[in-house]
Amino acid sequence: MARLQPVRGTHDILGDQARAFRYITETFVKVAERYGHQEISTPIFEFTEVFKRTLGETSDVVSKEMYTFEDRGGESLTLRPEYTAGIARAFISGGLQQDLPLRFYGYGPMFRYERPQKGRMRQFHQIDVEILGVPEPQADIELLALAADLLGELGLMDHITLEINSLGDTESRHAYRDALVDYLTAHKDRLSEDSLNRLDKNPLRILDSKDEGDRAIVADAPVLQDYFNDASTGFFQQVKDGLEALGIAYVVNPRLVRGLDYYSHTAFEFTTDQLGAQGTVLAGGRYDGLIEQMGGPATAGIGWAAGLERLAELVSHNHVPQSARPVAIIPVGGEAQAEALKLARALRHDGYVVDMGYRGNVGKRMKRANKLDSAAAILMGSDELARGKVTIKDLDEGSQQEVDLDKVSDHLMQYR
């Protein structure tokens, strides 16, 4: 029988990475709740139409990367490739329109069938925040501040740059789209196959092409801001003014785009030079047209997501709190076993991490205690127990002393 392996593009999370994931997630929850966000957890799979409507038929995610399958009832289902679509669907199907504005946060696994590489897996994990029902630029400023606060608490902002751009409102974007299509059509014979496919349905995505030939053409393309009306210019200026008032540094990247029509106004990415080619750490934008496109009421929205795998690569292990060092309980002789179990449970109730080996003599159990980096070992022999005592050995200093059995918890306070 062949040896079982994890599916390509998936991995087991344990040890240092598991600790980093938990630390990042717990920090994220703490910061998001400070900003008034409430937790939401959407299903890991949805009807395929949820993602086709939101991500667009011509997007790489829909056309190449989604894990889509037919269930036994003949329904087409898709493992979620991102969080926003599920949250928008929950807003519509849950009848949450009366509760606006809404602030959500969530975290969990996502799935995309793409070439696995450093920091990018087929099952990956994201943290996500959304604000629904706030068309004013204050929502953009608040979500950018939340992101900066999170990255700051994780000790990452020294190596991260906030890049922002504006996509303008619908009127401005349509005017720009026409000019961009005219320009790109004149260079049609030099565009890549992917960009040719996008030219009619999704031309703004061409601005984000990774193809070198496309990038050379795009370098001289019209600039979106040149087609802004007063409303678009004013909105973007308010976002920039808000960031400056909060002391959040940024650079304007006019080539930072989102290709789908429901995106508007602010788009942003927090990027780093610490991860090689995979430089985006956190990204998001405003999507005022999304919920209406999905069949719901016209509702403003903005959000961002960040990958846990990439954040975990960046977070210093010195920054991640280490697990509490255990206390080892070592019964000496079979008659001490019951008392050892009782003491272990009592200490766990008091908040200590306790390890009690399941077998082996005293020597083997001491070796296990040292391997687990235990702070102390409690030796429980029948003679000591008869006197209501145990021996506590400090495994760093090597010193030991007898302690009353009912005073063990107090004595161990020094090892917390």
Q: 97-132: per-residue pLDDT in tens?
A: 999 999 999 999 999 987 766 667 899 999 999 999
Residue 379: per-residue pLDDT: 92
Residue 192: per-residue pLDDT: 86
Q: State yes or no: 22 annotated in a binding site.
A: no
CA–CA dist 29, 313 (Å, integer):
19
Specify the 3-state DSSP secondary structure of 181.
Answer: helix
Q: State yes or no: 82 annotated in a binding site.
A: yes
Whether the CB-CB separation of 395 and 377 falls below 8 Å is answered with yes
Residue 62: per-residue pLDDT: 60
Q: State yes or no: 263 annotated in a binding site.
A: yes
Closest C-alpha among 208, 219, 212, 213 to residue 190: 213
Phi-psi label, residue 31: left if phi above 0, alpha if psi -120 to 50, beta otherwise = alpha
CA–CA dist 223, 204 (Å, integer):
11
Instruction: List residues bridging with 206 in a β-sheet.
Output: none
Residue 180: per-residue pLDDT: 87
Residue 188: per-residue pLDDT: 81
DSSP symbol at 412:
G
Please name the helix (run of DSSP H) or strand (run of DSSP E) that holds residue 403, with its range, or none: strand 400-404
Domains of the chain: 15-169+229-314 (3.30.930.10), 327-415 (3.40.50.800)
Whether the CB-CB separation of 197 and 293 falls below 8 Å is answered with no
User: pTM value?
Assistant: 0.87
Whether the CB-CB separation of 326 and 355 falls below 8 Å is answered with yes
CA–CA dist 161, 157 (Å, integer):
8
Q: State yes or no: 258 annotated in a binding site.
A: yes
CA–CA dist 120, 123 (Å, integer):
9
Closest C-alpha among 99, 165, 108 to residue 132: 99
Low-confidence ranges of the chain (pLDDT < 70): 1-2, 56-63, 116-119, 259-261, 277-278, 318
Phi-psi label, residue 111: left if phi above 0, alpha if psi -120 to 50, beta otherwise = beta
Q: Determine how many CB atoms are found less than 10 A away from the CB of residue 123.
A: 17
Q: State yes or no: 287 annotated in a binding site.
A: no
Q: State yes or no: 115 annotated in a binding site.
A: no
Please name the helix (run of DSSP H) or strand (run of DSSP E) that holds residue 270, with its range, or none: strand 264-272
Q: What angle do CA 10, 12, 17 make, to 5 degrees?
A: 115
User: What percent helix, strand, coil does the chain show, rounded to 5?
Assistant: 45, 20, 35
Q: State yes or no: 238 annotated in a binding site.
A: no
